[in-house]
Every structure is written in C-alpha cells, then in structure tokens.
Amino acid sequence: MPAAPFPERERIDARDKVLGATAYAADIPLPGLLYAMMVPATTPKGRVETVAVEGAMQVRGVVRVLTAFDFPALPGPPPTPATEIAYRGQPVALVVAETLEAAIEGAEAVRATYAGQAFVPLIDSPGAARELVQPKKAGNAQAAMAGAATTIEASYVSPAQHHNPMEMLSTTAVWRDGKLTIYEGTQSASLVRANVAIALHLDPAVVEVKSAQVGGAFGQKIPLQRQTPIVALAAILIGRPVKLVLPRAQIFHNAVFRPKSRHQVALGADAGGKLTAIRYDADHQQSRKGTLEPGYHESPPRMYGVADYDGTAAHVRIDTQDPGAMRAPYPHPAQFAFESAVDELAHKLGRDPVAFRLAHQATTDPISGNPLSSCFLNDCLTEGARRFGWERRPIAQGAMVEPDGTLVGWGVAAGGYPANVSPTIATLRVSADGRTRFAVAGHEMGQGIRTVIAQLLQRELDVDPARLEIAIGDTAAAPQHTTASSRGTVSVGAAVTAAAAKMRAAMAELIGQRSIAGNIHRQLATVRRPFLQVEVSTLGPGQDAGALDRLRAGARAAAGPEYPQFTSFSYIAHFVEVRVEPSTRRVRVPRVVSIADCGRVVSPRTAASQVRGGVVWAIGAALREETEVDPRFGGWLNADLADYVVPVNADIGDIDVGFVDRPDPLFNAVGSKGLGEVAMVGAAAAIANAVFHATGTRVRKMPLRIEDLL
C-alpha cells in the first residue's frame, strides 16, 4: 500500500544553519592541532627530479614536510604524492606547521624541479586519444533512420565545469592509540575508509570516517579525495592531529570536475511526425587513467518510447586530472543535446514542442525491453504548460517583442534520471526516556536527508521528534553507502519502513494483550524497558546478500535503473522564459516553471528547494560556467570565483516548482524515486530553446554567450 501524501514540514537543521551553528568537518576543535598546506606541481606533465624542503623547514613553526619519498609504493595510480606528474597542480609535497600562516609560507618555500614532457591539453589537441566504449543499442536505428520522412542532425558541446561548494574541501586526521579518525566532508565515508586503508597499508578496522555535515557535494565528494591519505599519513607520522583546508584554486586542480563533452545527435521522424529513430554519439574529456564512463545513454532512450536507438560513446584521453561526477553527470549534458535536438525536430515538423513531446509517452525501456516502473512525464508537461501559460505562445520565433525592443522567448525541455537505490544496514533504538536514535547510511549534504528520515520515522512511529538523533555519515554508526545518484531518500525510505515494522512487531511482543496509553516512549516506560533496539538490512529490487557485503566493504553496492522486472526513472519538465536585451544581447531568465515526477514526495519543503537549486545551477551552466585551459601551460585558467562566473541572486527570477506526487509502488513501498539530480536535467536545453524562440538563433553549446547572439 503506497504512502499517502506527506505533509509540509520544515527542515530539522534549518535553524542551526541560519545561525551558523552547524559544525562541518573543518570546524571540529582538537587539542594540539597542526595545519597543513599542499605544494602543487608547476608542470602539466613530467617527473619530479628534486624537491628542496630546506627553505620550508627554516620557516618558524614548520614541523615537517612530506614528499613522495615518505609514502608507501603502490600499484596503480597512487592517491599520495608521486614523482610522476600527470597534471598541473598535482600534490608534490605537504607542509605541516603549528599555524596556518607558517604552513602557507612553508609551502611557498618548497622548491621542486621537474623533467617536463610533451602533454596534450585539450580534447581537440593533436595526440588526444579517442577510446570507444561498449555501445548501447536497441532495435535497428539505421534502418529506421533510412526510412524516416524527416531527419535532423546536429552537434552540441558541453564545457568543462567545476564544483564550487561553499564548504572548501578539507581533511582533518587524528591518530590516537593505533586508531585513525578522519573528519571530512564526503559522500562516501565507507569508501574513504577502505581506500585510505589500502593507500596507507592499514587494517580498515582501525580507520573511522566521520562526515556528519557536508557543505554541498553534488558528486565532487564521491571518490577518495586527493588530500585525504596524505593528511592521514602526516597525522600518523607526526603523532598529532593535522588539518588541511584546500584553497579554492587547489580545489579546481585536484577535485573531480565535469569533463568537456561533445554530442552528435541525429533524429528521424516518420511521415506522421512520430519520432522513430535516435542516433547519438558522445565523447568526453578523460585523464590518462581515469575511469568515469562516458555513460551519456542513460536518459535519452528512456524519454519518448522510441524503439530504435543507436548509442555510441568514447573517452578522449588527454593530460588532465581525473574527471568525475557533477550534478546529473550524464543526463545534464546529454539532455542539453538531446532536448535541443528534439526542439529542432519539432520546429522542422512545424509542431508545438510541448504537443510533440506529449505525443511520445514512454511505457517501456528499449534498452532492457522491460516496462518502465512509472513515467508521468506527460503529467509534468501538462501541468507545467498550464502554470506557465504555454497556450499563449506564438509558434514563430521573434514574435514576442517588448516596446523597448527586448526579445522574449519561451522554451520547454524535459529531463530524466535513473531511479537508483542502495542496500542499507540500519539500527533503530527507541528509549523510555523519550530518545530515538536511528543509525543508517547517508550523508547530509544540504539536500535534507535528515529531514527526510525524520519525516518517515514520524509517519511510521509515534516517536518524540524533539529528541531524535539521526546518526549518518559515520562509519562507526552504520556502513555508509555512497550518497549519490539521487538514491538517498529511496534508500533510507526502505530502511525506515523495515526498521519501523520490526520495532512495531517487537513492541507488540513486549506489550502482548495489554492496552497502554501514550506514545512509544511512554509505553516502554510503563513496561519498565529502558529501550528497545532493532537492526534491519534492506536490498534493492533483485539484489542478493552480496550487496550487503559490498556495502560493508565500502565498495559499490547500489542498483538501478535496470531491475529484473522493470526499469525506473524520474522525470521533469522545465518551462523557461528568457528575455534578450536588444543591443547588448544579454540573456535574462526571469521565469521558470519546473514540474517533477519523483514518485511520492517525502519531504515537500526540501524537495522544492532541491528543484530550485537544480534550476539555478542549470541557469549557471547554460549561461555562465566554463573552466578554461591555456593550452600552452595546461591546468585551469579561471580557478577562482572571480573568473569562474556563477549566477548571483540578482540573476535569478521566479522559479515555480511543482510535483506530480504519484507513488511508484513497483519500485518501493514508499513509492518514491530520486529527485536531486533530475531537478537540473533539461533546464539548460529549455533555456537554449527559449533563446531560439526569442531570436531565431540556435546555440548548440554551453555556456551560451552574449557574443553568440550578436
């Protein structure tokens, strides 16, 4: 029986956040703390020949300088300082000092010399190596394309972009009595534990990772961060706690980023105007040894029920740091290309772009052949069009002009994102004194997972919400899956449901036939039980117990979006108004309507915030953000927030968010699907489509710059 709609409830951590009282990893006070600073490589590729640390050791307050020679040799690309330099900015040394100032001064005094090598800075530079991966195909797209009455083909480009969460990347490591404790903002506390143990030849059992609050993550904090084992080793060697907070420019050069990607899309429609064939090739910037798959064929085949799909993809290997996940890593760039192309096809067919999409309701996944567990994209489109006033849109471009010459355009685009789930191991303890403690996998990255857990617990059990402790992001509390790919709510939903059922059963056994008044705490007090504790484990559809072993080991344990009986996706439709100033061609986005299908919405307040945040990010992605490389030197040119331009508050207009809020009972008992990532998907294409409607100019790259419209 799927859950009824959930009530609006405020974030449980809102007050602390507004007051600045929330403690992040770098805020943890520790006696005897030392401060560290990394020394970045000043060559884009080569070999470290010498590292002179004497100058640094002469700086008053510097305690120790660690270089590659201090670290155990490892097979494969080491996460610690190495003599082989693969990218500009790679850590060469770590300076540890009594004060932050001394650490910075010491880092500046370290002198390294390099034997430089030729390097490949850009994906279109000579020497960039294209490496094909397994294609993704369904039906016979070649034949369908040959038989199509109308076709379009175009190329689209998505730039390299960098995460810039408010919380800087940091690691604080404590080595005490043979145990290593790491405090850092991560999405993967168990993975950090496993990988630090490997890097430093430690038993994972002596490592704990604590990440109670994360100040924004969005994929940047999924993998082991470059600095973590380095700082951990410093703490072990020195025997005092060590903290490193990376400066912004070092974050640009060492954290994962969204790789530049190129997308070639061809669409075919039959004589009746029905989309019948999709051919889509994508490649992306990749480091020499990086593993982020070019997985751009996740969402396009699952949008419009097209049986014939031909998807190819490739890495383009160059000399850069490892790219990684960044909010909606594949669907955001893929849907920018695909939904722009759908708009181009609708235009060529003379069809309204909303009506064209509505005519293509998807019910099955052509890749697996299984049905979709649910797809309410058409509800998103219909409700969005209603709220936006879409019926007043003239189909011709440049038809809406303000008296001052401002060009107005309305655009639409849709998004999809895999509905994933992780196995969980959770512990629920309810006490007679009014306390409740729920320990589970999950990381609070600002998305509101604690609020979601509180919401679910309060529906399932009559617990005191004021005395609720939610222990997440802590390897000592429960095995921590990677909180990513929009699987947080779905995964904890299963855990809470199972734990609450077991708790109710345990209470029933305890109380028997008696009728006891009051809430669960009161009932425990009445029967003289100080507390009751249950432990549960949950699995995704089709998973076996091996998934729990992988979860415990900090390895990949999640499932989705293809399950044995069905495929599961979340959907969204974005409607955008742009205003293009007549002479400067500056593009403003005063109005957006976004309607999402994420199954049952568990926390309406934080869900709406997620969508607003995703739309803001898409405005930045579509109009502002690009990290640029100077091909003469490698590395990132605009590695600070003065030159990596994101929107400011004044750039953001009205964002109206709505939800279909229909449960997906096939996928899980609560009926929810993921939301965080899908929120952003398609919104950039909606902006580009609106710009086309305003100006008649089709811009096929992000960011769309004012020069492109002159």
Partner 1 sequence: MRPFDLLQPKTTDEAIALLARHGSRACLLAGGTDLLVEIKEGIRAPDVLIDAKHLPGMRDLVVSSSEGLRFGALVTARELETSPAVKDFYHGLWQALRELGSIQVRNRATVAGNVCRASPSADTLPPLIADGAVVAIMGPAGERHVTLEDFFTGAGKTVLNGDEIVTGFSVPKPLPGTGKCYVKHGRRKAMELATVGVAVTMTMTGDTCSSIRIALGAVAPTPIRARKAEAVLAGKKPDIELIAQCGAIAATETSPISNIRGSADYRRRMVEELVQRAITAAMEAAR
User: Does the bond joining 241 to the residue before it have cis omega, within 30 degrees of 0?
Assistant: no
Distance in Å, CB of 633 to partner 1, minimum: 15
DSSP 94-145: EEEESSHHHHHHHHHH-EEEEEE-----STTSTT-EEEE---EEES-HHHHH
Q: Determine contact, residues 311/136, Cβ cutoff 8 Å.
A: yes
Residues with Cβ < 8 Å from 86, sequence gap 6 or more? 45, 77, 287, 288, 289, 319, 321
Residues linked to residue 171 through DSSP beta bridges, in sequence order: 244
Cα separation, 499 vs 654, in Å, equals 40
Cα separation, 358 vs 479, in Å, equals 43
Cα separation, 407 vs 399, in Å, equals 8
Distance in Å, CB of 638 to partner 1, minimum: 6
Distance in Å, CB of 253 to partner 1, minimum: 14
Structure tokens at 231: 């700082």
Cα separation, 338 vs 135, in Å, equals 17
Alpha-carbon torsion (482, 483, 485, 490), positive or negative: positive
Q: Determine contact, residues 209/475, Cβ cutoff 8 Å.
A: yes
Q: In this complex, which beta carbon is closest to partner 1, that of residue 203 or of residue 707?
A: 707
Q: In this complex, which beta carbon is closest to partner 1, that of residue 105 or of residue 208?
A: 105
Q: In this complex, which beta carbon is closest to partner 1, that of residue 149 or of residue 641?
A: 641
Distance in Å, CB of 108 to partner 1, minimum: 7
Q: In this complex, which beta carbon is closest to partner 1, that of residue 39 or of residue 500?
A: 39
Distance in Å, CB of 103 to partner 1, minimum: 11
Q: In this complex, which beta carbon is closest to partner 1, that of residue 143 or of residue 706?
A: 706
Q: In this complex, which beta carbon is closest to partner 1, that of residue 104 or of residue 157?
A: 104
Q: In this complex, which beta carbon is closest to partner 1, that of residue 412 or of residue 589?
A: 589
User: H or E stretch including 428?
Assistant: strand 424-431
Cα separation, 471 vs 494, in Å, equals 16
Footprint of partner 1 (CB under 8 A): 101, 104-105, 108, 583-584, 586, 623-624, 628, 637-638, 642-643, 645, 647-651, 706-707, 710
Distance in Å, CB of 576 to partner 1, minimum: 18
Q: In this complex, which beta carbon is closest to partner 1, that of residue 528 or of residue 632?
A: 632
DSSP 512-543: TT----S-HHHHHHHTT-SEEEEEEEE--TT-
**Strand bridging mode 308-317 / 275-286:** parallel
Residues linked to residue 282 through DSSP beta bridges, in sequence order: 263, 313
Q: In this complex, which beta carbon is closest to partner 1, that of residue 476 or of residue 641?
A: 641
Distance in Å, CB of 696 to partner 1, minimum: 19
Distance in Å, CB of 142 to partner 1, minimum: 41
Count other Cβ atoms within 10 Å, centred on residue 66: 25
Distance in Å, CB of 643 to partner 1, minimum: 6
